[in-house]
Amino acid sequence: MSLGIDRIITRKKICSMIGISADTLTRWINERGFPEPLNASGRSPIFDKKLVDEWLSDPEKQLKITDKM
């Protein structure tokens, strides 16, 4: 799957946009169902902007807590 440059967003941009730290974003990925970074995105993770926007606009997705026990 090939994403155009307008369809990706960096971790730095996400954190800046919503006022959270990179550690909080990682916690949201692990515990709250935030979209995973794209494969092979390297040291600075990139995300599918559409999936991020969908997650941010859906309060039910934001409240999801994953049971890791």
Residue 69 lies in a domain: no
What is the rounded end-to-end Cα distance, in angstroms, of the chain? Answer: 33
Domain enclosing residue 49, as ranges: 5-63
Residue 20 lies in a domain: yes
> Can you give the pTM of this predicted structure?
0.78
**Count of CB atoms situated within 10 Å of the CB of 37:** 19
Q: Of 17, 7, 58, give the one whose Cα is nearest residue 34.
A: 58
pLDDT of the residue at 65: 59
Residue 68 lies in a domain: no
What CATH number did the domain enclosing 26 receive?
Answer: 1.10.10
Q: How many domains does the chain have?
A: 1
Residue 45 lies in a domain: yes
18-59: pLDDT as tens digits: 999 999 999 999 999 999 999 876 688 999 999 999 999 988
